[in-house]
């Protein structure tokens, strides 16, 4: 196969797993750390709401559009476990109930009430937006005590990086608006812990075939996810949760994981998450919700993270399994993270002790053999080969000289800076200077963030430029349903009554009736397929009619 047409008879004859090896689907979610320097005790839920509302105000003032609307929770199923059961709601932690407005919205509403009762933030409106859907197809909302940006669905590794970076633009625009219009200074950090016992997420989502056995999927992923941090860790000055030991470690998240496999995301965090919430045709697809990763500023780290994970998923979907397992994955996760020399070994079931690098080298060798045998369209072959080469190069460089990768990997770049400052000032890692440096690396303000200063100095490799990222904050990907969602927000936001990843609720101006447009096929709704919806001078009711016909047609196609 040297060309790619998803509507061709040849492509449709492939299994779902084979189709996804040719055309993956990836989305990233980032919860940002938030702080108000002039008001250090400010409620983080209120600050998050301020950011969401500031972004809406800025975009509307500039003549752009957003949809400040309720999230359509009808398609969410956070308590369905991929292993074949559903957790009772009575047994679920409140943070797991993301299928109802009484989750993050209720927490935020209670935060407003508490602030107003205490005599603070008297000017906070009673009703505030909690959720925005953006013209680039992304979601920007309040997730408990954090502003969260969930990127639109993408189908290439580079696009996944681009739209993750666009989230930083969105958050930055919001802080700039607050500073300009209200004089409020809010700092945002792309990190995963406050070093006071709290951790927040940077999640990944990958579409896999429903035919793949989940137990086999989890078993094959455990050694990989445990060792993957060697490439995509964000680095942290400190070991531990509540009491932080003054050492440097590779991953910000490793110390916060307690289980191998499980449904939770905020308590008893598992290395492999079992939430069976596909946000797509459930009979056809499964969404692998990955919660083990760190938030990366480095474009190269993010690119490697999504790329090597997709390549491993492609192998697993064919029935491949590793020849060994870890005796204690949770312990191994932390052992590897706590040793930035990369020399620590973990015990495997074949009685071989391996380093994180050696585990990743094994997965790489298996991936090279597997993907060389795959028949792929030209553009996909180029993407796969480029990722395999980059994977090999980074492992070779880490094995030879860890600091040679400081131009690509977040944890190494941060570690190098910390070592330099500690030596220059003759201080230990428990010195306040080190804690400040650790935090400043993740500041998304380019005038303050140390990562951005490294980029400006030419010391960090980038894959997408500033102009591309700025454009991606407003324009959706062209080849997934994110295009239809984003264009609907851009041109018909006044009709949007609700949104989810696989639905669009439109309210008719004629009779106020709500129409649900199903977009359960993630690749339907691309620029090519959805162009007809927006062509010409389309009136509101005509757009609703076209959207209904589009959704119905794609549903019939899936039912066949």
Average pLDDT on 34-48 reads 91
pLDDT (tens digit per residue) in 546-556:
999 998 866 54
pLDDT band per the 50, 70, 90 thresholds, residue 10: confident
Q: Residue written as tokens 């950090």?
A: 189
What is the CB-side half-sphere exposure of residue 372 using CA atoms within 13 A?
8
Residue 484 CA to residue 137 CA, distance in Å, equals: 8
**93 pLDDT more than 80:** no
**85 pLDDT more than 90:** no
Q: Tell me, what's the pLDDT at 1?
A: 45
Least confident range of 260-264, 400-404, 451-455: 260-264
**35 pLDDT more than 80:** yes
Average pLDDT on 429-447 reads 96
Q: Tell me, what's the pLDDT at 281?
A: 93
pLDDT (tens digit per residue) in 362-386:
999 999 999 999 999 999 999 999 9
Q: Tell me, what's the pLDDT at 244?
A: 78
DSSP state string for 164-229: HHHHHHHHHHHHHHHHHHH----EEE--SB-SSS-B--EEEEEEEETTS-HHHHHHHHHHHHHHHH
Are 132 and 170 within 8 A, CB to CB? no
Q: Which fold has domain 19-471?
A: Creatine Kinase; Chain A, domain 2 (3.30.590)
Q: Tell me, what's the pLDDT at 9?
A: 83
In 3D space, the residue among 438, 433, 25 whose CA is nearest the CA of residue 194 turns out to be 438
Q: Tell me, what's the pLDDT at 7?
A: 72
Average pLDDT on 239-268 reads 87
Q: Tell me, what's the pLDDT at 263?
A: 75
For the chain, domain boundaries: 19-471, 481-559
Known catalytic residues are 143
Q: Tell me, what's the pLDDT at 210?
A: 96
Residue 502 CA to residue 74 CA, distance in Å, equals: 10
**519 pLDDT more than 70:** yes
**195 pLDDT more than 50:** yes
Biggest CA–CA distance in the chain, Å, is 72
Are 271 and 330 within 8 A, CB to CB? yes
Are 293 and 253 within 8 A, CB to CB? yes
Burial of 209 (0-12, 13-18, 19+ CB in 10 A): middle
CA 218 to chain centre: 19
pLDDT (tens digit per residue) in 274-314:
988 999 999 999 999 999 999 999 999 999 999 999 999 99
Which of 19-23, 36-40, 116-120, 506-510 reaches the highest mean pLDDT? Answer: 19-23
In 3D space, the residue among 232, 220, 275 whose CA is nearest the CA of residue 93 turns out to be 275
Are 116 and 40 within 8 A, CB to CB? no
Are 369 and 362 within 8 A, CB to CB? no
550: enclosing H helix or E strand: helix 540-559
Within the chain, how many helices (H) and strands (E) appear?
A: 17, 20
pLDDT band per the 50, 70, 90 thresholds, residue 266: low
Residue 454 CA to residue 398 CA, distance in Å, equals: 20
With a pLDDT cut of 70, the percent of the chain lying above it is 88
């Amino acid at each position: 196969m040297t060309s790619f047409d998803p509507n061709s008879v040849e492509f449709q004859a492939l299994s779902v797993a084979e189709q996804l090896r040719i055309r993956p689907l990836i989305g990233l979610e980032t919860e940002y750390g938030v702080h108000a320097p002039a008001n250090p005790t400010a409620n983080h839920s209120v600050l998050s709401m301020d950011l969401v509302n500031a972004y809406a105000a800025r975009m509307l003032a500039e003549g752009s559009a957003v949809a400040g609307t309720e999230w359509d929770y009808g398609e969410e199923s956070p308590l369905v476990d991929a292993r074949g059961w559903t957790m009772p709601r009575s047994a679920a932690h409140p943070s797991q109930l993301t299928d109802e407005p009484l989750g993050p919205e209720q927490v935020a509403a209670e935060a407003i009430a508490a602030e107003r009762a205490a005599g603070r933030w008297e000017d906070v409106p009673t009703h505030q937006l909690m959720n925005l859907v953006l013209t680039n197809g992304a979601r920007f909302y309040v997730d408990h005590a954090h502003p969260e940006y969930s990127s639109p669905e993408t189908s290439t590794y580079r696009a996944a990086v681009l739209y993750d970076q666009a989230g930083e633009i969105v958050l930055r625009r919001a802080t700039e608006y607050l500073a300009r219009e209200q004089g409020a200074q809010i700092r945002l950090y792309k990190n995963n812990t406050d070093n006071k016992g709290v951790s927040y997420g940077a999640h990944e989502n990958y579409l896999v075939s429903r035919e793949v056995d989940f137990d086999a999927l989890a078993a094959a992923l455990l050694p990989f996810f445990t060792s993957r941090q060697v490439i995509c860790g964000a680095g942290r000055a400190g070991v531990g949760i509540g009491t932080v030991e003054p050492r440097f470690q590779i991953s910000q998240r490793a110390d916060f994981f307690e289980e191998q496999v499980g449904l939770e995301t905020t308590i008893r965090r598992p290395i492999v998450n079992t939430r069976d919430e596909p946000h797509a045709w459930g009979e056809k697809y499964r969404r692998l919700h990955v919660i083990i990763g760190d938030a990366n500023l480095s474009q190269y780290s993010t690119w490697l993270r999504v790329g090597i994970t997709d390549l491993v998923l492609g192998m697993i979907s064919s029935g491949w399994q590793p020849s060994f397992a870890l005796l204690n994955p949770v312990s191994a996760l932390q052992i590897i993270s706590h040793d930035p020399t990369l020399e620590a070994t973990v015990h495997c079931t074949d009685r071989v002790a391996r380093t994180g690098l050696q585990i990743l080298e094994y997965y790489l060798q298996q991936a090279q053999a597997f993907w060389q045998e795959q028949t792929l369209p030209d553009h996909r072959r180029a993407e796969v080969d480029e990722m395999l080469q980059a994977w090999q190069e980074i492992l070779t460089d880490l094995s030879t000289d860890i600091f040679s990768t400081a131009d690509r990997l977040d944890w190494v770049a941060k570690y190098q800076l910390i070592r330099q400052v500690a030596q220059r000032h003759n201080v230990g890692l428990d010195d306040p200077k080190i804690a400040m440096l650790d935090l400043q690396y993740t500041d998304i303000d380019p005038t303050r963030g140390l990562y951005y200063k490294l980029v400006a100095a030419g010391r960090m490799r980038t894959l997408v430029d500033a102009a591309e990222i700025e454009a991606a904050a407003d324009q959706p990907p062209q080849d997934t349903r994110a295009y239809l969602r984003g264009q609907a927000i851009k041109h018909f936001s006044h009709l949007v009554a609700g949104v989810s990843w696989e639905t669009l609720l439109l309210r008719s101006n004629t009779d106020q009736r709500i129409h649900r447009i199903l977009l359960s096929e993630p690749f339907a709704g691309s620029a090519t397929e959805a162009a007809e919806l927006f062509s010409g001078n389309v009136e509101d009711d005509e757009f609703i009619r076209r959207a209904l016909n589009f959704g119905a047609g794609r549903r019939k196609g899936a039912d066949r």
